[in-house]
Each structure stands twice: as structure tokens, then as C-alpha cells.
Amino acid sequence: MTILEKMEDIEKSLPKDQSIDYLANKELILNILELRERKNVLILGHNYMAPLVYQLSNENQRGDSLALSRYAARANNLIILFDGVRFMAETAKILNPEKKVLIADLAAGCSLADNFSAKDVLDYKNRYPGVPIVTYINSYAEVKAESDYCCTSANGLDVILHAAKEYNKDKVIFIPDSLMGENLQDDLDNNGHKIDLIYPGKYDEKFARCEVHEMIKPEDIKNIRLQYNMQKGAKDTAVIVHPECLKETVEEADFSGSTSAMTKYVRNHSELKKVYLGTECEMTSNMAAEFPGIEFIKTCNVFCQHMRRINLEKILYSLQNEVYEIHVDEDVRKKARLSIDRMLEIGK
């Protein structure tokens, strides 16, 4: 696709309410695409990016953090710009050490990753010797390096079951997300698995939550159902929430899953006419652009301050100067890689 064709494609693919934004930022977008081409950069776009940023990436180069990192590993580009938060770009670097991985703002954090250190993992290890540690992908390399397995919101249950079997234990440690831990324990119980999942906050005072998803309360879901006539279990409507939400919120939903699972759910239910997504708000904008036949309820004002740090101006600056590169200590990287590889093996 030529740059002009890509510009036309972006304009066409944007949600209707963004056409003025497109015109206002046209030159910036053009400059970014020219640099992308000249420097042969792979631009990866996470599902939570604002539509103008999201559309900079080609269709198959958008998605969740793991799918994007895997995509990066297959690509030939020597420079990767990861439009997402820092732990995601770091995961791409762990899987692609020989490539230069850039992020438009190194301060793009995450309330889950930022509140959990390698020392916290070691504390769990000391308290529960021999119990396998499954670490959510929303964590930094030093934390992954001290863990036995990595997991994502798409495969958490499978990885936990595998870890319990492999270590012959009825206990598994899951870090750092307290709310997802609670939701996973529920999944285990509901599916008849007698596994005690040890997550922060269950038996101790430590706690980590996604500051975005914890804002979506069960009463919000009830109100949306009433206001938009979306009964639980109805065929043509769906309330879908992320497993980083409160357990009580998940219980009110029709389905709970990772961003990739949300997309898959909508794609596989062609009868859907109205959908509410309980997650970062930009995901709703991006889904609305992808599924124009469905009405997406956008009542929320739930944005991630970290994701919002990634904007067109900073992307251009990073590409122009090849700055804000992700570095990971090689010993840490190798150990972190092991936990990711052990997860990928399970998915095979």
C-alpha cells in the first residue's frame, strides 16, 4: 500500500466522529507514515490506543500485547515502534532482542506492573516454597524473570492448570492482579478444579489492581442494561467485561475476556446488534470502526492515563530521532524469556 493509499484507508477506517481529528492531524500522520516507510519501521498498535494512533498500524499489526510481540518476532523490520504501554514494548524486546524497540513515551506505565517488584515475587517464593508462580503479562522483565510462567488474560486459566499439574501442587501463586486472581479462582471453582490460587490480597495485605477496570462497578452494568434495554442472556445484545474488573462486575456481564477474546466473541456472534464493552474506552471506538453494523454503547469515560501518553506528536519525535528505546539487561531478559516460552509451549 502506498502512503497515499494508507492515508485514504485511515480516513475511511476511523469512527465517524473522528473525521475532524483526522483533518487536524493529517500532516502529522503523513510525516509518521513517510518515516515508517523510509526507515522500514514496524508500528504495532495495542487495542487500547486512540483511533488515530491505532490506525497507523496495518490491520494485522493491531491487537493485544502478546499477539503483537509474536508478530514482531516474525517480522523482518529492524526497528519496532510499540504503541502501547512500557511493559508491552518490553515484552516485544524480550522476544526480539536483536531489534530496536521504541516507545513514544517511556513513562507510559501501568498500575499493575508499577506496583509489583522482583522483591515482591521473592517474598512469595519464600513464603510458599515449591509453589509455582504464574505472572500476568502486565509486569516488568525483572518480575517475569523471577516467575515460572507468564500468562495473559486470554490464557490464565490454562496456564494455572498446567502449572499445578507440572509441579504436582494444589496451590498456585498468581501475581500481580488481585482482581483477576479472584476471578480466576472463581473460574477454577466453577469448573471443579480444587486449586487454591494465592494472589495478592488473599492472605496478605499486598494488593494490585488495574486503576481503569476497577472503576467499572456492578451498578454501572445494571444501569446500562436498564437504560439501553440489554437484558442478560439476550441474543442480540451483549455486555462484555475484562477479567481485570471486580468479581461482582464480571458476574453482571454476559461474557468476560481479554481484548482479543472480546473481538472474537463479537465476530462469532453475528446476531449482535448492541454491545457494551466494560474496558478501556478506546477499545470501544476501535471495535465500532471494525464492526459498523453494531451499535456500541459508549457511556463510559474510562480511559487509561498511561495509554493516553502515546500520541501522534511523540510518535513522530521518537521515529525521527530513534529515541525512547527499550533496554533490558541480558541476564534478566533470558530468564524472563523462559517464563514466556513456557507459556507459549502450553498454547501449542
Contacting positions for ligand SF4 (CB under 6 A): 85, 110-112, 138, 210-213, 244, 280, 304, 306-307
Length of the chain measured in residues: 348
Among 50, 8, 122, residue whose Cα is nearest residue 312: 50
Among 266, 254, 279, 86, residue whose Cα is nearest residue 180: 279
Map residue 145 onto helix, strand or coil.
helix
Q: What is the CA radius of gyration of the chain?
A: 20
Which of ligand SF4, ligand CIZ, none does residue 112 bind (CB under 5 to 8 Å by kind)? ligand SF4
Q: Which range binds ligand CIZ by CB under 6 A, 20-28, 62-70, 301-309, 310-318?
A: 62-70
Q: Which residue's CB is nearer to ligand SF4, number 131 or number 150?
A: 150
135 contributes a contact to ligand CIZ by CB under 6 A? no
Q: Which residue's CB is nearer to ligand SF4, number 103 or number 112?
A: 112
φ, ψ for residue 241, nearest 5 deg? -125, 165
| Identified binder of ligand CIZ from the candidate list 10, 44, 56, 137, rule CB under 6 A | 137
Q: Which residue's CB is nearer to ligand CIZ, number 49 or number 145?
A: 49
CA 93 vs CA 1, 141, 151, 153: distances in Å = 27, 10, 17, 20
Map residue 89 onto helix, strand or coil.
helix
Residue type, 324: Y
Q: Which range binds ligand CIZ by CB under 6 A, 61-69, 72-80, 140-148, 187-195?
A: 61-69
152 contributes a contact to ligand CIZ by CB under 6 A? yes
Which of ligand CIZ, ligand SF4, none does residue 137 bind (CB under 5 to 8 Å by kind)? ligand CIZ
Q: Which range binds ligand CIZ by CB under 6 A, 31-39, 64-72, 219-227, 268-276?
A: 64-72
Among 60, 51, 58, 57, residue whose Cα is nearest residue 22: 51
Instruction: Give helix then strand counts, H and E, for the chain.
Output: 16, 12
| Identified binder of ligand CIZ from the candidate list 147, 178, 259, 286, rule CB under 6 A | 259
d(CA 282, CA 298): 10
324 φψ region: left (φ > 0), alpha (ψ -120 to 50), beta (else): left
The pattern of x and - marking residues 212 through 251 that bind ligand CIZ according to CB under 6 A reads ------------------------------x---------
64 contributes a contact to ligand CIZ by CB under 6 A? yes
| Residue with the CB atom nearest ligand SF4 in the bound state | 110
**With 0-12 CB in 10 A as exposed, 13-18 as middle and 19+ as buried, what is 49?**
buried
- Tell me how far, at minimum, the Cβ of 37 lies from ligand CIZ, in Å: 27
User: Cβ of 118: how many Cβ atoms within 10 Å?
Assistant: 17
Q: Which range binds ligand CIZ by CB under 6 A, 31-39, 58-66, 170-178, 200-208?
A: 58-66
First vs last Cα of the chain: how many Å apart? 33
Residue type, 330: E
**Applying CB under 6 A, what is the total number of residues that bind ligand CIZ?**
12
258 contributes a contact to ligand CIZ by CB under 6 A? yes
286 contributes a contact to ligand CIZ by CB under 6 A? no
- Tell me how far, at minimum, the Cβ of 4 lies from ligand SF4, in Å: 34
- Tell me how far, at minimum, the Cβ of 89 lies from ligand SF4, in Å: 12
| Identified binder of ligand CIZ from the candidate list 61, 65, 139, 263, rule CB under 6 A | 65
- Tell me how far, at minimum, the Cβ of 304 lies from ligand SF4, in Å: 3
Residue with the three cell numbers 486449586:
195
Residue type, 131: V
- 213: cell is 477496570
- Are 152 and 137 in contact, with CB atoms under 8 Å apart? yes
Binding site for ligand CIZ (CB under 6 A): 46, 64-66, 137-138, 152-153, 242, 258-260
